Amino acid sequence: MATVLDHPAPTAASVVDASGGTRGGGSRLLRFALANVRRRPERFVLSTAGIALAVMAVIVVRTIAAGYATVGSDSLSEVLGSDPVWVVGAEGVRFDPDLDVLLPNGSTPALTVPEGWTAHRQAVGVWAAPGGDVALVGRDDVAPGAAVVSPAAADLLGVAPGARLRVGAADLTVATGGTGTSVTVPVDVARTVVGDRGWWTVTPSAADTGRRDLGALLSRASGIPSTTDASRTPSGRPLAYDTVGGGTSLATFQQAYSAIFASKVTSSTLGLVSVVGLVLGFVIAVSSFLAAVQERRREFGIMSSIGLADEVLYFFLVESALVFVAAYAAGALAALAATTLVVPDVTTLAGWAQAAGIVAAYLPAMAIVGALVPVHRLLQQRPVDLLRDDA
C-alpha cells in the first residue's frame, strides 16, 4: 500500500516477537500502534477529538453534580453539628439555592426525648435584613450577645468582625463563621424574628451514644416516626432522621443526603444531554475502528493466514487504548477549563478530580468493547476472503 511506503509499519516478524513474549513485546505493540496512527493521523485526531468532547461533556456535568453534592453535605453538617438525630416538622425542609442553606417549611414540632437525652431547638427562617434576605439561625450553642455571620452574609450586611449588628430587638457583636448566606444567633433572639419556624437536633445520653437504633429509641419516647433514609420526606407528620443508624448501608447518611443534590444535576436536562454525548463518542470510536479494519483487511488476512489471528486483537486493543487515553486527557483538561469559565461558582478542583475519576472508571470498558466489535467482524471471515483483491 502506498501509504505504508510513506510510513513503514513494523513487519510481521516484529509481530511474532511481540506475541512470543520476547523482551520488549509490549513496546513493539505500542510502536506498531503508533505507526498505524501515523498512517492515518487525521483519523486518530478526529476520533480522539470526538471522544474527548464526549468525555468533556460528562466530566463537566459530574463536576457540577459534585459541586452541588458538597453544598448539600455542607448545609447538612451546618445543621447537625455533632448531633446524630435531626427532627423536622410535618411540612419538611427545603434547600434555598439563593441563600445556600436548608430552611424549614413549617413550625418546629413538639418533641419529648428519652430520659438523659438533650434536644437542641434551632429557630431557622429568612430574615429580611437591611442589606437583603439572609438565613437567620438560632442555636443554643451561640454565646449570648454574639452573632456568627457567614462571609456571604457579612458582605451583604456590610459588617466586619467586632462590629455591632441589630437583630430584632437585640444588639449583637459580629464574629465570622458558617456557610451560605446565614447569621447564627442565640435561639431566643432568632425566635423574635422567625417565630416558631425551625427544627430540633438531639444528643443522646452518654449511655446511648454509639447505639445504632437512636431513631427507634426516640420514636418510642416521642411518637415521632424515624428513618435512616436520607431521601424520605415527612408525610403529614414530623420525622426524625437518624443519621448513624442504617448500618447495613455502605454510604453514610450525609453521603446519601449529598447524593440527592448530585442526582438533581445528573437527572436534569444537563445530565441526559451529556449521556447522549458519551454514546455518540462511543459510536465514533467504533466507526473509526471499523474503517481502520476495512482498510487493513489484506494486512490482517496475511496475519490470520500465518496463525496470528489473536495478535490482531492485541493491535486493536493497544490502538484503542491510545485513542482513549489521549481523548481522556484532552477531555478532562477541557472540562476543567470549561467548568472554570462557565460555572465558576460550583466548580472545585476536588469536584473535578472526583468527576474525572468516575469517568476514568468506565473508559477502559469502552476502549475494550470499541476494539472488540470491529475485530470480531474481521475474525468472522476466512483469511482467504480477507486477501481477495476485490475485498
Residues that bind other proteins (CB under 8 A): 1-3, 40, 42-43, 46-47, 49-50, 53-54, 56-57, 60-61, 64, 68, 71, 97-98, 100, 264-265, 268-270, 273-274, 276-277, 280-281, 283-284, 287-288, 291, 294-295, 298, 338-339, 342-346
Nearer to other proteins, 143 or 369 (CB): 369
Decide if 189 contacts 117 (C-beta within 8 A). Answer: no
Q: How far is the CA of 2 from the CAs of 6, 9, 39, in angstroms?
A: 7, 12, 10
Q: How far is the CB of 194 from other proteins (least distance, A)?
A: 21
Kindly state the smallest distance separating residue 294's Cβ from other proteins, in Å: 8
Q: Closest CB to other proteins among 31 and 298?
A: 298
Helix, strand, coil content of the chain in percent (nearest 5): 55, 15, 30
Residue 211 or 264 having the CB closest to other proteins: 264
| Distance in Å, CB of 236 to other proteins, minimum | 23
The minimum distance between CB 175 and other proteins, in angstroms, equals: 26
Query: Which three-class secondary structure state does DSSP give residue 134?
Result: strand
Instruction: Identify each DSSP E strand in the chain by its residue range.
Output: 85-88, 93-96, 101-104, 118-129, 132-139, 146-149, 164-167, 170-176, 182-186, 198-203, 226-227, 239-242
Neighbours of 313 (CB within 10 A): 15
Residue 27 vs residues 16, 31, 33, 310, 318: alpha-carbon distances, Å: 13, 6, 10, 17, 10
Q: What's the rounded Cα separation, in Å, for the pair 197 and 325?
A: 53
Q: How far is the CB of 99 from other proteins (least distance, A)?
A: 9
Q: Which is nearer to other proteins, 143 or 273 (CB)?
A: 273
Name the residue nearer to other proteins (CB basis): 200 or 324.
324
Smaller CB separation from other proteins, 104 or 186: 104
Q: How far is the CB of 272 from other proteins (least distance, A)?
A: 8
Joined together, the cell numbers standing for residue 252 give 453514610
Q: How far is the CB of 45 from other proteins (least distance, A)?
A: 8
Give the nearest distance from C-beta 173 to other proteins in angstroms. 31
Q: For residue 43, give the 3-state DSSP assignment.
A: helix
- Our CB check for other proteins shows the closer of 117 and 324 to be 324
Q: Which is nearer to other proteins, 5 or 169 (CB)?
A: 5
Shortest distance, position 3 Cβ to other proteins, whole Å: 7
Beta carbons of 162 and 174 less than 8 angstroms apart: yes
Cβ pair 280, 327 in contact under 8 A: no
| Beta carbon of residue 335, minimum distance to other proteins (angstroms, whole number) | 10
Q: What distances in angstroms separate CA 13 from CA 28, 136, 199, one per listed residue?
A: 11, 77, 76
Query: For residues 273 and 306, which CB has a smaller minimum distance to other proteins in the complex?
Result: 273
Task: Quote the CA–CA distance of 313 and 79 in Å, as a whole number.
Answer: 56
Q: What is the CA radius of gyration of the chain?
A: 30
Closer of 6 and 115 to other proteins (Cβ): 6
The three three-digit cell numbers of residue 234, written as one number: 415527612
**Cβ–Cβ under 8 Å, residues 216 and 226:** yes
Pick the closest to residue 72 from 99, 107, 101, 111 (CA basis). 101
